[in-house]
Homo-oligomer: A and B are copies of this chain.
Amino acid sequence: MAEDWGLYHKAAGEGNKKVDSRQGIGLFRTFLNFGETPVIPLRFDKLGGLVPAVVQDWRSGEVLMVAFMNAAAWEATLRTGLATYWSRSREELWVKGQSSGRVQRVREIRIDCDADTVLLKVEQVGDAACHTGHRSCFHRRVAGKMLETVGEPLFDPREVYGR
Contacts and interface: CB of A to CB of B under 8 A. Distances in A.
B63 A147 contact: no
Contact of A130 (B32, B113, B144, B145): B113
Interface string A9-44: 000000000000000000000001010000110000
B109 A137 contact: no
A140 B117 contact: no
A141 B109 contact: yes
Interface residues of A, number: 43
Given A60-B61, A63-B119, A132-B113, A78 B142 contact: yes
Interface string A119-163: 100000000001110101111111111010010000000000000
A111 B142 contact: yes
Interface string A53-73: 010100011110110000000
Given A145-B39, A147-B40, A140 B63 contact: no
B66 A117 contact: yes
Interface of A: 1, 32, 34, 39-40, 46-47, 52, 54, 56, 60-63, 65-66, 78, 88, 108-114, 117, 119, 130-132, 134, 136-145, 147, 150
18 contacts: A40-B142, A47-B47, A52-B52, A52-B66, A54-B63, A61-B62, A63-B110, A63-B119, A78-B142, A108-B142, A109-B142, A110-B136, A110-B140, A111-B141, A111-B142, A113-B134, A113-B139, A113-B140
